[in-house]
Structure 1
């Protein structure tokens, strides 16, 4: 493999406290040099890539993907479409595989993919079938603590955490029982548990418990340990970080003080209005997962899968069905988060969530050549959340290409958005 010199880009690597114009030399699957004005004239086998005016970042890490394609029905997307062909070098699948289906996930998803694939194993025996479309498959009897702990401990190279859901529909059916079992799996496996907040399932038509959405957050936090992850802080759905009265839940800051982490989990949940409440309260998420799946993108559904899903946004808010991790980064910039923190959310902080701090999410001599190159554009566009709220922006990030272990991939996924002006949006 020839050497590649990424020339003159703005290199931002929060793990190395680096934000400067630098050259990055890739030799095979590793980075061999990082510096100012690296000379390639003496080496005939170097391909020079002009990165002037571009952002050159550690390979981006998406902490919330749904990529168990084929097994999870319409829900699971192609991992390389969401990964390297969207400028992302590592994908963390959130709850697609279970202790039963993890061997298939390894063989048919992780091994053949060009993207590095990791798993947050489902706490439920069925995993993420059809995006948790059938609530009764997620009742307490459908968890096996011992089997899930065994699967996680014997697949440490692939399994980096656990996934569970704390939301109104589940609490109305089973109360806190599922959460207690998920927390136990996390304790016994010594892995972080990633908790979905915000309503997912409709309440049952009969036999439902009376659930105050504002009571869910504190009950769950009391079960968790330092390092566990609270997801969807900017959700438009009740039962999470923001109470029904529009105020930040009083337990959020206590959760952070206990060492819990926060992942955006953009997806169909994202609300600019909720985000404003959370950020104005001084709550800054640690990581940023795109949370794309087959119900919130334009990807054609496999024949025979359900026509509708509670987490769907495509047919409700037309125009939101093209997105990815980099466009989620643009949304974070629109909210006023500084670029360096947004980069940390998808590099060094995300590497920590994946249990691979120092291995990925940073650029270092001798380290793996996972590099993402983005366009940092200026102009006037409109972005829209899943409540229909529109925000005018003058800056957007766009993935151009990435290197995964030294192999180049163009950012040409069909799900990548093309932002529009107000006039174009109204015409559409």
Structure 2
């Protein structure tokens, strides 16, 4: 895979007095972590001598987790009217790995790779959109009008030429996108996924197709994003049959992903589903320029929302780190072992009194917040903090400068 592209550093990095979490058993006390110039873990212990040349980050007891991994973002900035710059949702927000969820199709993926993925400071991967044009003019020009929108041969060729960064296929299953085409795009994506031996990520939204029918087409490793959307006909709590199908899907290894976004996350749906014992497998933001200063803000705030709704701290961390890594087939075990590439997030859990919104405008108050301090990429410690939207944000007043869309 393409990841862990950390350049050789001039100085080693010592993280002092951090509390490991999300790495499995064996870390009951704060530890020091020395990272060599090569960007790999060199030593783990207590009171490690810094030496004369090491840069020291004093964690002061903050949590150290595997790097936060956002499974659903849109960062093909300049290539689509919906995408933001990677730095708006990456290391400066505590995120070390992100996955662009279908911004590019086969016709424009080369630009996403050359201008975004390769120069990126973070590890960036992509789901390739089934539609050849991707999200060039998102929701204004559909990428899935009919079969003229899909070139199967070129899609296969693009995946084969970019297997180091393309980790799956993305298809939007919603009548807003596909009109009356119903399940055909999902069937085509699943067929290509079988040929290419890759998972598919399916956006579920306004039916048709029905969320129920989409679940029936998926197999272990496939991903349903926007799993807690509150749209009529698409909410998994609005009828028991659909809820049971979702339970069965999760049991057979289908990944339920939050994919918050500007229109696809409901506090009520998430709370009810968590209370019934069906948590999301992965937490992601679906950050784009219509959600950044609206409902979503960043990864830390999205994680905090799930915590406030009753998800356990350890489960929130896993759903934001190792679970999405497994979903895209990255190593997820022994990440703090000696010799492993260093990719961590240093964060605190702080008291707060913050009003936030879901995608439908419902409000909630957060009393605890995930607060990123540093993203650790190799021997580089990048200062991080939560995104604070400008006045007029919080779900009400952001206007996209490119397309005029108001969130």
State the TM-score, normalized to the length of structure 1.
0.82
Spell out structure 1 runs of 4+ moving beyond 6 A: none
Q: What secondary structure, in the 3-state scheme, does the structure 2 residue paired with 1:249 have?
A: helix
Check conservation: 1:64, 1:265, Cα contact below 8 A. Answer: yes
- SS of 2:120's partner is coil
Pair 17,102 (structure 1): closer, same or farther in 2 beyond 3 Å: farther
Give secondary structure in 2 for the equivalent of 1:187. helix
Structure 1 residues 223 and 379 mapped into 2: Cα distance closer, same or farther (>3 Å)? closer
- Look up the match of 1:332: 306
Larger displacement relative to structure 2 (288-297 or 47-56): 47-56
How far apart are the structure 2 equivalents of 1:18 and 1:133?
A: 50
Question: Is contact 1:135–1:170 with CA below 8 Å preserved after alignment?
Answer: yes
Task: Quote how far apart the aligned CAs of 1:241 are.
Answer: 4.3
Q: Are 2:62 and 1:68 aligned?
A: no
Which of 267, 273, 277 is the aligned partner of 1:272?
A: 267
3-state SS in 2 of match to 1:391: strand
Distance 1:114 1:90, change over 3 A: same
Q: Which residue is 1:253 aligned to? A: 247
The 1:175–1:156 alpha-carbon spacing in structure 2 relative to 1, beyond 3 Å, is same
Q: Which residue number corresponds to residue 404 of structure 1?
A: 377
When structure 1 is superposed on structure 2, of 76-85 and 126-135 the one drifting more is 126-135
Count of residues in Structure 1 that have an aligned counterpart in Structure 2: 380
Structure 2's unaligned 5+ residue stretches are 1-9, 392-407
Closer/same/farther in 2, CA of residues 216 and 97 from structure 1, 3 Å limit: same
Q: 1:249 to 1:172 in 2, by over 3 A?
A: farther
The within-5 A match list for 1:4-153 is: 4-14=13-23, 18=27, 20-28=29-37, 29-35=39-45, 37-40=46-49, 43-73=51-81, 75-135=82-142, 137-153=144-160
Deviation at 1:246, TM superposition (A): 8.3
More deviation, 284-293/50-59: 50-59
Identify the residue that residue 157 of structure 1 maps to in structure 2.
Answer: 164
With over 3 angstroms needed to count, the CA separation of the structure-2 counterparts of 1:154 and 1:17, relative to structure 1, is farther
Displacement after TM superposition at 1:170 (Å):
4.4
Q: 1:247 to 1:280 in 2, by over 3 A?
A: farther
Which stretch of structure 1 is more off in the superposition, 229-238 or 165-174? Answer: 165-174
Residues of 2 paired with 1:223 and 1:149: CA distance? 20
1:150 shift after superposition: 2.3
Distance 2:106 2:187 in 1: 18
Q: For each residue in 1:347-377, what CA deviation from the matched residue of structure 2 results, as whole angstroms up to 9, or x when unmatched?
A: 1111111211248x93222111212111210
Alignment partner of 1:117: what SS? strand
Whole-Å separation in 1 of the counterparts to 2:382 and 2:172 = 34
- The 1:19–1:180 alpha-carbon spacing in structure 2 relative to 1, beyond 3 Å, is farther
Q: CA deviation at 1:112?
A: 1.1
State the superposition RMSD in angstroms.
Answer: 2.4
Q: What is the SS of the residue equivalent to 1:40?
A: coil
Deviation at 1:190, TM superposition (A): 0.6
Tell me how far apart the structure 1 counterparts of residues 42 and 276 of structure 2 sit (CA, whole Å). Answer: 43
Is this contact kept in 1: 2:34–2:48, CA < 8 A? Answer: no
**Structure 1 segments unaligned to the other structure (5+ residues):** 200-210, 299-313, 315-319, 420-428
TM-score, structure 2 normalization: 0.86
Aligned twin of 1:291: 286
Match of 1:208 in 2: none
CA distance in 1, matches of 2:105, 2:143: 16
What is the CA–CA distance in structure 2 between the aligned matches of 1:99 and 1:62, rounded to whole Å? Answer: 22
